[in-house]
Every structure is written in C-alpha cells, then in structure tokens.
Structure 1
C-alpha cells in the first residue's frame, strides 16, 4: 500500500506569519497536534506542533539549567531556546527542515521513517507543495475492516499447506519443529518451540489463514538451557 491510500488530503495549515496564539487556537479547535506551515503558493516551509510549544514563558516551562550546565551551553544554543520560549510568530518557533514523503512512498517506508525519527506525522509533498499529510492514526484506517474471506472455502489440506508455507517463510519457525494439521477447519499445532513467543507467533500464523475455525495448541516448550520438555496443557 502507498501513502496516498491512507493520507488526509484536506489538511489544516497555517502560514509562517501567523501568531503562536493563532496556531494554538487552530490546533485546539480542530483537535489536532500539529500544523504544516505553508506559503500562500502552497509551498511547505515548516511544521509547528505541540512539542514546539512545550517550553514557553507563558507557561513558566522555560528550560532551566544549573549554573555549571549554563557554563557549558553555547550562547547560540541559549539564544535558540530563548526564541522558542518567547517567539510570537509561527516562523520563529516552527520546526524546519521538515521530514516529508511522497504520495507513492510505501506504508512500510513511512512507518520506518516515523519510528526512526520519532515523529507523529509526515507531510506528503509533490514538487515542494503540500499534497496531504499522514499521521500515525491514519495507519489504523486499513485495520477497520477484516480481510475479505475468499469466495470458495479452502479445504483442510489447503489450509494446512497455507500454514506450512507461512511457517516456512518465517525465520523463527525455519527449524521445522512446528507442524500443523487441519480437520474440519480446526488446526492442531504439534511439535516444539524453543521460546514461548514462538508459540504465540505460530498461533497468529494459523489464525490468519482463511477458513480456520479454531486452534488447538499442542506445542511443547523445550528449555534451551536444560533441554527440559514441558508439554502443552
């Protein structure tokens, strides 16, 4: 899937010449935590979010340093923090440069970027102009509806083959110790696991095969330290 399939196209934006108070009002009234900052022509120039307004003089939350840490801080860094705490215009406190994606970025790439950069939103840009925005909550959209079941139900043999294929593709199951049999849609997992998390993963792999009605967990756990086999209850 691509970013353009889940992004929000009608983006609430603000201009760099707006005031911090206007930005705060806009975020509160629309129940959003960030605003792309655009020029009148639609070019993206920055982003202002709740985190940019966390250390403010009005809130008495300006960053305070002990005297010895104050000696270590460069004058430029202290000046930057002063602007962040006292600036009245969006352009003075916004974050820039902004991490962006294109409409054709895959969801996997966007998710990686969000995790690595620890950001909650990514403006979607085409030729420098704002095209939309994708937030963490947008990733929930495809999860609202369960995957459609195939028109023709799978046979027990086909379900067992699908589970075996999925297990063979996963590094945690490539030791071949997990086996699945299917009878009237009921999956029985036999064999052993070296880590209890492998048990949960095997159950999930079976659950995702269309037509599976129930799963019987008969997997035994082998303690890798002592070689003790603990049978499933």
Structure 2
C-alpha cells in the first residue's frame, strides 16, 4: 500500500467524507445493519451518553453476526470496536495514515469540538 503523494499537503478536512452515520449504543445489530444498507455505509459510529465511544463495521457483522456468535438483536455496544480512535479535521493526512497503520484500522472518524464531522477511509489515501 502506497500513500498518495498528491495528498501530502492536504488536511483531513480536505479529503474526509462528511457522510457518516451514528447510532446510540443501545441500538441493535439489526438497526445498524438496516441503516448501513439503506445508506450504503460500511461503518456506524457508536454514541453513548453523548460521547463517541466505538465503531461497528461491515467486518464486525461478518465476523460476529455471520458466525452466529451473537444474535441480530444484540446491542451494538457489545459488537463495536473500542475505544474509538479518531482524528481532528486540521490534522495532516500523514497523521491519519500513521494512526490507521499503527492501530490496524481502515476507518477513522473525524471529530472536532465533540462533533462528528466525517470519516476518512484508508483506501481513499492510497494509490
């Protein structure tokens, strides 16, 4: 995987996807699956007590629901990956690549001033 040199001088806010979903931690896997399918999304940010606490991805469904380890009515708080690793909108793209590489993740929510602004996906940063 090679970093796209065009993005070297860009900030996160320049390349993030502002279309990002969030659900309360009490929502079920079924709720998350429906909204992800309707919106053609690969991830949902999990909110608990007005804080962003985790992320549930299409891969989580494949592994945890698909293997029948959890029923479809399981709260997403039990399925999510946490703690949530996020990045500020003014950060450098290279910081996002390092965060994702170091933590072995493909999606990074963009959060500034306690607001969810978007998401950045590793495949958008590489050539």
TM-score class, shorter-chain normalisation, is 0.7 to 0.9
Q: Aligned residues, how many?
A: 117
Equivalent residues in 2 for 1:175-214 (5 A)?
A: none
Superposed CA deviations along residues 17-74 of structure 1, whole A, max 9, x for unmatched, are 1110011112222222111112474x312111122223346x4x25xxxxxxxxxxxx
Which of these residues, 27, 32, 53, is aligned with residue 23 of structure 1?
32
The alpha-carbon deviation at position 128 of structure 1 amounts to 3.5
Which of these residues, 124, 130, 153, is aligned with residue 110 of structure 2?
124
Aligned residue for 1:7?
A: 16
Aligned residue for 1:33?
A: 42
Q: CA RMSD in A?
A: 2.4
Which of these residues, 39, 55, 59, is aligned with residue 51 of structure 1?
59
Distance 1:56 1:101, change over 3 A: closer
The TM-score with structure 1 as length reference comes to 0.44
Quote the Cα distance in structure 1 between the aligned partners of 2:93 and 2:60: 26
The TM-score with structure 2 as length reference comes to 0.76
Quote the Cα distance in structure 2 between the aligned partners of 1:98 and 1:32: 18
Quote the Cα distance in structure 1 between the aligned partners of 2:113 and 2:96: 18
Secondary structure in structure 1 of the residue aligned to 2:20: coil
Quote the Cα distance in structure 2 between the aligned partners of 1:121 and 1:56: 18
Aligned residue for 1:157?
A: none
Equivalent residues in 2 for 1:63-74 (5 A)?
A: none
Superposed CA deviations along residues 60-106 of structure 1, whole A, max 9, x for unmatched, are x25xxxxxxxxxxxxxxxxxxx6xx2461111211110111111110
Compare the two structures and name the one with the higher helix fraction. 1
Which segments of 5 or more consecutive residues in structure 2 lack a partner in the other structure?
1-9
Higher RCO (CA-CA < 8 Å; seq separation 6+):
2
Higher radius of gyration, 1 or 2: 1
Quote the Cα distance in structure 2 between the aligned partners of 1:11 and 1:40: 19
Q: Is the 8 A contact 2:21 2:43 kept in 1?
A: no
